[in-house]
């Protein structure tokens, strides 16, 4: 899937390789904290100057600072080396509901298009 995304977005081979490794690392981190039976969700958001990819899953662990749960240490350094920007996010809307809803924790990665001007 990453190869198709890279081709469609006309990324050079080096950037495409970095994106594939970054997505793999993000998925590995999230699988480790996912609730039993949770799915991984990957969303691509192509923009004029950059490509944003978000990977998320439902988890049992909630924290006001998703970095402390989702992304720290070695994995953060790997993602920062492979992408231009890395963020974590938590969506705990409805966590207290009786239907067993779990908070969604995720990792957002941004890759600037190499031909795009650097932000000013």
Q: Is 27 within a domain? A: yes
Q: Is 117 within a domain? A: no
Per-residue model confidence (pLDDT) at position 97 = 44
Secondary structure of the chain in HEC code, one letter for each residue: CHHHHHHHCCCCHHHHHHHHHHHHHHHHHHHHHECCCCCCEEEEEECCCEEEEEEEEEECCCCCCHHHHCCCHHHHHHHHHHCCEEEEEEECCCCCCCCCCCCEEEEEEEEECCCCCCCC
> By residue range, what is the domain housing residue 72?
2-112
Q: Is 118 within a domain? A: no
Q: How many domains does the structure of the chain reveal? A: 1
φ/ψ of residue 30, rounded to 5: -70, -35
Q: Is 83 within a domain? A: yes
pLDDT in tens, 37-76: 999 999 999 888 899 999 999 887 655 555 555 677 888 9
Provide the CATH number for the domain around residue 42. Answer: 3.30.565.10
Q: Is 20 within a domain? A: yes
């Amino acid at each position: 899937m990453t190869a198709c995304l890279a081709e469609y977005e006309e990324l050079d081979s080096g950037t495409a390789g970095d994106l594939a490794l970054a997505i793999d690392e993000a998925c590995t981190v999230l699988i480790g904290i996912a609730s039993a039976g949770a799915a991984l969700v990957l969303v691509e958001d192509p923009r004029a100057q950059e490509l944003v990819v978000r990977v998320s899953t439902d988890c049992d662990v909630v924290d006001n600072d998703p970095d402390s749960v989702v992304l720290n240490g070695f994995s953060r350094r790997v993602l920062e080396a492979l992408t231009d920007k890395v963020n974590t996010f938590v969506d705990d809307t409805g966590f207290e509901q009786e239907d067993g809803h779990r908070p969604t924790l995720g990792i957002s990665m941004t890759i600037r298009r190499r031909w795009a001007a650097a932000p000013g």
